[in-house]
Structure 1
């Protein structure tokens, strides 16, 4: 996924189907300077992590 699309998804009130390593995730924030996204699995909001935007997949 590219950074601009990740930012659009993060800002949208509509939940998009996005995965990271096969797990559905929620994008909290995207840092366009580092191309990193703050995410968490939908079923485990306590497991936040920062990952490269390029590793996110929109289904």
Structure 2
């Protein structure tokens, strides 16, 4: 996923569906230093992890 689109999703008022290698996640923040994002699975909100932006994709409208 493009860094700018990831930031737009974070800033969006409505929930936008994002997946990381097929798993639905919530984007929390972006780390510009190493092109990663802090996310957590929607079914495990306490399990934050840092992932590569390239593994993230937006699903559907």
TM-score (structure 2 length as normaliser): 0.88
Report how many residues are paired.
59
Gaps of 5+ in 2: none
1:30 counterpart residue number: 30
Aligned residue runs from structure 1 range 40-51, under 5 A = 40-51=40-51
Q: TM-score, normalised by structure 1?
A: 0.91
Report the RMSD for the aligned CA atoms in angstroms.
0.9
Provide the rounded CA distance (Å) in 2 between the counterparts of 1:14 and 1:46.
21
| Structure 1 gaps, min length 5 | none
Moved over 6 A (4+): none
